[in-house]
Amino acid sequence: MFLRFVYTLIRGVRASKSWFFVRLTGPGRLVAGGILASALVGLDTKQTLAYEAFTFLSSVFLISLLWTTWSAPRALAHRVLPRFGTVGEPLEYRVLLRSETPKVQKNVQVFEKPQYWNPGSGRTAFESNLTGHAGGFGPSGSPHRGPRRMTLKYPMFAARIKDVPHLNPEDEQEVLMEILPLRRGRLWLETLIISATDPFGLCRSIKKIAMPQSVLILPKRYTVAEIRLTGARRHQPGGVTFASSVGDSQEFVSLREYQAGDPIHRIHWKSWAKTGKPIVKELQEEFFVRHALVLDTFQQDAYSEIFEEAVSIAASLIGAIDTRESLLDLMFVGPEAYSFTSGRGLAQAEKMLEILASVGPCRDKPFLSLCNTVFQRDRLISSCICVLLAWDEERKEFIRRLKESGLPLLVLIVVDGEETDRLDPGPMSDRPEHFRCLEVGKIRQELVDL
C-alpha cells in the first residue's frame, strides 16, 4: 500500500511537472513562482503588502490561462523523418506546417511530446522487433502499453522548442526540428504539439496532433583506429554464398568438357545445347579471412550502463574492421542464438548497426549457449574479438578454449571504476596487450589507444 502511494505520488509530480513546462513559458514560470512566493510571504496582510503582488500576478496569470484555453492554434502538420539517428547526436528532421485560418498566427511554437521508456518491462527490444510488436523494454520500443508496473520511466529523447514567428493564412511553412536521442532502438514520435502564447507571453495554448512515426536510433559509436587483425585464411565450404545461406554452393571458375564421374548437377545445359557436347561447370573451394565479433549479452538486470557501453563498443568495432576482403560475423544470444555476417558482397556494416540498435540483455539462458554458437564456427574463423560484461570462471574458460583452438584473440572487458585494477588476465596472461579493461566513463579515450 505504501509503495502504491509513493508510485501515485511520483506519477502526480511528473504530470504536474509536465504541465508546468509544457503549458507555461519561461516568463510564465517566473510569474507562477512569484505568485507562490508572494502567497507565502503575504499570509499576514497587516504586516506586509506582498498580498498586493499576489493579487496582481494572479490576475494576470489567470487572464493568460483563460486566453489560451479558448485560442488554440489552427494548423495541420506533416513530419518527415530520416531512416536513422544515433544516440547522443542531434537528429534533424522537417515538419511542414499549414495554417487553417484566414488570420495570421503569431508566436507559434512546435515541439514533440516527451516519450519515456520503462527498464522494468519484461520484453526485450530485440524480441519486440523480431515479432513486429512495440516493446517497452530498455532503449527500444514505443511507450509501454502493458499492465502498469511500479517502476520509473526515463526520457527517450531531449527536444528543443522551435519558434515560428508568423504563420501566414493558407500558407505552408517548413520548420527544421531537432531532438537529441538518449536511448538506442526504435524511437516512437507519437504526438506533435503546436502551441501559441497569449499576449502577455506567459501561457501556451496547445494543439496535439497524433502522428505516430518511428526512427531507428543506432548505438553510440566511438572513434577507433582501423583494427588489423591477425589470422590465417580459412577454408570456407560453399564459398562466400554459404556465409549468408544454407547450402553447398561453391565458387564458379570456368566451363570444361564432361569427364567420367562428374556429377549431373554440374552440367551446364545451355553450353551443351550450343556445342552439342556435354559441358560442366568447374568449381573450387574458397579460402579467405573471417573475423568474429562476440558480444556478451548475459546479465540479470534489465538495463545497465555496462551493457549499453558494451553494445557501443561492438558498434564502434564494426566500423573499424576492414571487411572489403574479409568477412565479419557478429555473434550474440537474445531470444535465441544469432550470427550475422557482413563483408565481401554480403550485408554491409550499416545492417549490423541496425541489429545492435535493438539487442537486449539475455536473462533466461546460460552463458554456455554463446559458447556453443562460437565453437560451431571456430574452424571457419580466422580471429576473434570478445566484448564481455564480466570476467568470471565461465568466461575465462570460454577464452581458454578459444586460445586452445589457435585463434588470435582480443578480449575487451567492460567494467566500472572499482573493478579495473582487480582483474587478472587469467588465460590471457601470456598476451596482456590483447586483454583490455574498458572503464565506463573513460571508454572513448581507451578505445583511441586500442
Q: Looking at the structure, tell me whether residues 408 and 309 fall in a common domain.
A: yes
CA atoms within 13 A on the CB side of 105: 28
CA distance 322 to 195: 49
Q: Is residue 134 part of a domain?
A: no
Same domain, 256 and 317: no
User: What pLDDT is stored for residue 285 in this prediction?
Assistant: 53
Residue 193 sits in the same domain as residue 263: no
Instruction: Specify whether 421 is located in the same domain as 296.
Output: yes
With a CB cutoff of 8 Å and minimum separation 6, the contacts of 338 are 330, 331, 332, 355, 373
Stretch 64-73: mean pLDDT, rounded?
85
Same domain, 270 and 313: no
Q: Do the Cβ atoms of 124 and 334 come closer than 8 Å?
A: yes
Contacts 24+ apart (CB under 8 A), 338-346: 338/373, 339/373, 339/377, 341/243, 341/244, 342/318, 344/240, 344/243, 344/288, 345/240, 346/240, 346/243, 346/244
Look at residues 305, 308, 286, 282 and name the one whose alpha carbon lies nearest to residue 295: 308
Instruction: Name the residue with higher pLDDT: 85 or 381.
Output: 85
Instruction: State whether 103 and 63 are in the same domain.
Output: yes
- CA-nearest of 95, 96, 94, 134 to 115 is 134
User: Number of C-alpha atoms within 13 angstroms, CB side, residue 230?
Assistant: 6
286, 301, 325: which is the final residue of a domain? 286
Helix (H) or strand (E) holding 196: strand 185-197
Q: What is the pLDDT of residue 324?
A: 67
Which pLDDT does position 178 carry in this prediction?
A: 95
Among 8-12, 218-222, 270-274, 286-290, the range with the most confident prediction by mean pLDDT is: 218-222
355 class by beta-carbon count within 10 Å (0-12 exposed, 13-18 middle, 19+ buried): buried
> For residue 201, is pLDDT > 70?
yes
Q: Collapsing DSSP states into helix, strand and coil, what is residue 384?
A: strand
Claim to verify: residue 176 and residue 259 sit in the same structural domain:
no
C-alpha cell at 280: 560442366
**More confident site: 91 or 160:** 91
For 215-269, the pLDDT digits (tens) are 999 999 998 877 766 654 454 454 444 444 433 345 555 677 878 877 787 787 8
Q: How far apart are CA 125 and CA 138, in angstroms?
A: 7
Q: Report how far residue 85's alpha carbon sits from residue 277's, in angstroms, rounded to the nearest whole number.
A: 58
Summarised one tens digit per residue, pLDDT across range 69-94 is: 888 888 899 999 999 999 999 999 99
- Are 433 and 350 part of one and the same domain? yes
Average pLDDT of 311-315? 94
Spatial CA neighbour of 296 closest among 226, 210, 383, 398: 398
145-154, 371-380, 405-414: segment of lowest average pLDDT: 145-154
Contact predicate 230/216, CB 8 Å:
no
In this model, does residue 100 exceed pLDDT 90? no
Which amino acid does the sequence have at 177? M
pLDDT of residue 80: 95
For residue 121, being part of any structural domain is answered with no
Contacts of 97 (CB under 8 A, 6+ apart): 75, 76, 77, 108, 110, 164, 167, 172, 173, 174, 175, 194
Taking Cα atoms as reference points, which of 353, 330, 341 lies closest to residue 241? 341
Q: Which of 286, 310, 326 is the last residue of a domain?
A: 286
Q: What does the DSSP assignment read for 231-263? A: ---EEETTHHHHTTSSS---EEEEEEE--TT--
Question: Rounded mean pLDDT of 149-176?
Answer: 81
Can you tell me the distance from the alpha carbon of 440 to that of 420, in angstroms, rounded to the nearest whole number? 10
Instruction: Work out the mean pLDDT of the chain and round it to a whole number.
Output: 80
Q: Which residue type is seen at 19?
A: W
What is the predicted pLDDT for the residue at 242?
A: 46
162 close to 110: Cβ distance less than 8 angstroms = yes
Higher pLDDT, residue 107 or 112: 112
CATH of the domain at 104: 2.60.40.10
What is the reported pLDDT for 345?
A: 54
Domain for residue 148, yes or no?
no
Q: What is the DSSP string of 114-152?
A: P-EE-TT-SS-HHHHHHHT----STTSSSSP-SS--S--
CB within 8 A of 233, min separation 6: which ones? Answer: 287, 288, 289, 382
Compare 422 and 111 and report the one with higher pLDDT. 111
- pLDDT at residue number 347: 56
The reply to whether 110 falls in a domain is yes
If DSSP codes are grouped into helix, strand and coil, which group holds residue 64? helix
Question: Whose grid coordinates read 538486470?
Answer: 301
Tell me: do 273 and 299 sit in the same domain.
Answer: no
Report the CATH number that the domain containing residue 411 is assigned in CATH.
3.40.50.410
Please compute the mean of the pLDDT values over residues 160-185 and round it to a whole number: 89
Most confident of 129-143, 361-375, 410-424: 361-375
- Judge contact between 24 and 32, C-beta under 8 A: yes
Position 273 in a domain: yes
173 and 73 co-located in one domain: yes
Is the pLDDT assigned to residue 131 strictly greater than 60? no
- Provide the domain limits for residue 271: 235-286
| Cβ atoms within 10 Å of 128's Cβ, excluding its own | 23
Question: Last residue of a domain, which of 189, 218, 247?
Answer: 218
**Residue 131 forms part of a structural domain:** no
- Asked which of 125-129, 171-175, 214-218, 363-367 is least confident by mean pLDDT, the reply is 125-129
Q: Determine, yes or no, domain membership for 86.
A: yes
Of the given ranges (83-97, 162-176, 272-286, 373-387), which has the lowest mean pLDDT?
272-286
Instruction: Write out the three cell numbers for 152.
Output: 520509473
pLDDT (0 to 100) of residue 420: 60
What is the percentage of the chain residues whose pLDDT exceeds 90?
Answer: 32
Cell numbers describing residue 428: 590471457
Overall size of the chain counted in residues: 450
Question: pLDDT at position 213, please?
Answer: 94
Q: How many CB atoms lie within 10 A of CB 291?
A: 25
Q: Which residue has the higher pLDDT, 188 or 10?
A: 188
344, 247: one domain: no
| Residues 371 and 276 reside in one and the same domain | no
- The rounded percent of the chain whose pLDDT value lies above 70 is 81
Tally Cβ neighbours within 10 Å of residue 161: 15
d(CA 449, CA 74) in angstroms, rounded, equals: 55
CA 96 – CA 78 distance, rounded (Å): 5
On the question of pLDDT at 135 being above 70, the answer is no
pLDDT attached to residue 119: 66
> How many structural domains comprise the chain?
3
Is 413 part of a structural domain of the chain? yes
Per-residue pLDDT for 440 more than 70? yes
Does residue 77 contact residue 217 with C-beta atoms inside 8 Å?
A: no
